[in-house]
Amino acid sequence: MNSNYSVKRLCILLSLFVTACVSPVQTDLNMNMSTELIDYMIDDDGEEVFGDLEVEKLGDLEIDEGLVEDQRIVEPIDQDLIDMNIVTPPGDPCLNIDCGNGSCVLQGNQASCVCNPRYLAQGLSCVPEDLDNDGVDFTVDCDDNNPQVYPRAREICDQIDQDCDLLIDEGACSIWVLPPLQNHWEAYGLDVSGGVHTPQGPIKAAWDIEELDIAFVLLPTGYHELRLSTLTWSPLRPLSDLSIPNNASLQNAGFATSNPAGHTNTPHETITINLIDDGGTKKIWILKYFIADGRYEPYFANQFIGEPHIWREEHSDEYSPNPAFVNASWLDIDNSRYVMNINPQEYCGQGPTSSNINSGMLTSDTIYLYESGSCFDFIPPIPIMGSPLDLPGAPNFSEIGGAFWHQGSLYLLRGN
């Protein structure tokens, strides 16, 4: 190699080295370093030629890797910057927050929930509101403005669905009473006194014992005694006490009336029970209830004890109801509601010009009347419309299973 070539090459290399020392390489933490091949050399005559030289490209500066292998300048990373989270940006406080019925927003550097209408923020959640503070929120409370209305609430007889089951007054309106001189029915539940012996089946018939302030309620499997002053119940008693076979099935229509002892000057009240058995046969029981002994026995030893029912009155074909359609009946010894306002002589051909004693037999739209003081016969019926059963608070006909008149008040009992 001639001296000119060596001198020229040395000058070039020194020039590169001086440039690197005088102008230090400016680097940053994200500098890209790459290696690439360049074609450059000087021949023996001092002429520039191209060949393969491997250099490392550091930023905009190309350095012969073989000559400056240990001379690259790299500024150290400041650990304090890493610790201050400047190198890695901070996270979003709302990133993993699910408010439910709302959305997460930043207030300063803190996450909070902005809730949809009718939802309230509790911590980082949106919960449904409970306006009436009954412990049940509006999503399941059918009336969130009434603290007495919520699922599984106790039903009250007030034409409101307290327990949110889409049924109104079920179990709460089971006894309706129309007191004397009042024009609005009062209603009670069967268990108004909190007793444990309330009827557990459909009521088929009912009657009262005027002198003892009690009533009897007949079910398909037995009967209960009802103390009227407290609306408390006796345990269920067998049908055999009423001379009705215990194996009798009384699922169909029935009605009953009682004739007070004071009206007949006897030591017993007379009870007439009319029932339709499962075969559709209409049957009748006539019983005596001895007040002093509190017991029943057949009125006649061999008559009217489960016999087929027939009306035995003169006008039965014209004015009497079909027993299969009678849901309840009662005997009013005062006619205090003036249900019967006709002259018995006109239809009976006998007796006084007016009568206070009548029996009412209730069907779906009619009260059939039986004159019970003089001729004991049916007289023209009257429509329910405009009668006591048309007053505010009265039950629907389909709900009635028994009725009786007691000391001037008319009682109706739920049958389903």
Between 29 and 414, whose confidence is greater? 414
Question: β-strands 214-219, 205-209: how paired?
Answer: antiparallel
- Domain match, 186 and 70 both: no
Dig out the tokens for 221 from the structure: 């499997």
Cβ(254)–Cβ(246) under 8 Å?
no
Last residue of one domain, picked from the residues 18, 48, 74: 74
Dig out the tokens for 407 from the structure: 């000391």
Q: How far apart are CA 244 and CA 300, in angstroms?
A: 14
Domain that holds residue 370: 175-414
Asked if residue 184 has pLDDT above 70, the reply is: yes
- Domain match, 58 and 181 both: no
The DSSP H or E segment spanning 79 is helix 79-83
Q: How far apart are CA 214 and CA 70, in angstroms?
A: 117
Which region among 159-168, 287-296, 311-320, 331-340 has the lowest average model confidence (pLDDT)? 311-320
In eight-state DSSP terms, residue 26 is: P
Residue 265 lies in a domain: yes
Residue 63 — pLDDT band, cuts 50, 70, 90?
very low
CA 261 to centroid of chain Cα atoms: 48
Last residue of one domain, picked from the residues 48, 74, 100: 74
Cβ(290)–Cβ(275) under 8 Å?
no
Dig out the tokens for 245 from the structure: 């076979």
Amino acid at 143: D
Q: What is the pLDDT of residues 218-243, one digit of tens each?
A: 998 899 999 998 889 999 999 999 88
Quote the radius of gyration of the chain (alpha carbons, Å). Answer: 51
In sequence order, the 6+-apart residues with CB closer than 8 A to the CB of 345 are 351, 352, 353
Last residue of one domain, picked from the residues 18, 42, 74: 74
- Domain match, 64 and 179 both: no
Number of domains, the chain: 2
Residue 255 lies in a domain: yes
Asked if residue 32 has pLDDT above 50, the reply is: no
Q: How far apart are CA 274 and CA 322, in angstroms?
A: 12
Neighbours of 109 (CB within 10 A): 7
CATH of the domain at 285: 2.110.10
Residue 112 lies in a domain: no
The length of the chain is 416
Cβ(185)–Cβ(394) under 8 Å?
yes
Burial class (CB in 10 A: 0-12, 13-18, 19+), 84: exposed
Cβ(72)–Cβ(66) under 8 Å?
no
Burial class (CB in 10 A: 0-12, 13-18, 19+), 70: exposed
Q: How far apart are CA 223 and CA 220, in angstroms?
A: 8
The DSSP H or E segment spanning 404 is strand 400-406
Q: Which residue, chain included where needed, has tokens 């989270």?
A: 85
- Domain match, 67 and 213 both: no
Amino acid at 165: D
Residue 195 lies in a domain: yes
Q: How far apart are CA 262 and CA 80, in angstroms?
A: 109
Residue 310 lies in a domain: yes
Mean pLDDT of the chain: 77
Q: What is the pLDDT of residues 349-383, one digit of tens each?
A: 776 666 778 889 999 899 998 888 777 788 888 89
Amino acid at 54: E
- Domain match, 47 and 184 both: no
297 three-class SS: strand
Mean pLDDT of the 70-90 span:
48
- Domain match, 271 and 392 both: yes
For residue 22, the model assigns a pLDDT of: 41
Predicted TM-score (pTM) of the model is 0.63
Residue 396 lies in a domain: yes
The DSSP H or E segment spanning 114 is strand 110-115
Q: How far apart are CA 333 and CA 92, in angstroms?
A: 86
Between 126 and 92, whose confidence is greater? 126
- Domain match, 312 and 180 both: yes
Dig out the tokens for 315 from the structure: 């006008």
Residue 325 lies in a domain: yes
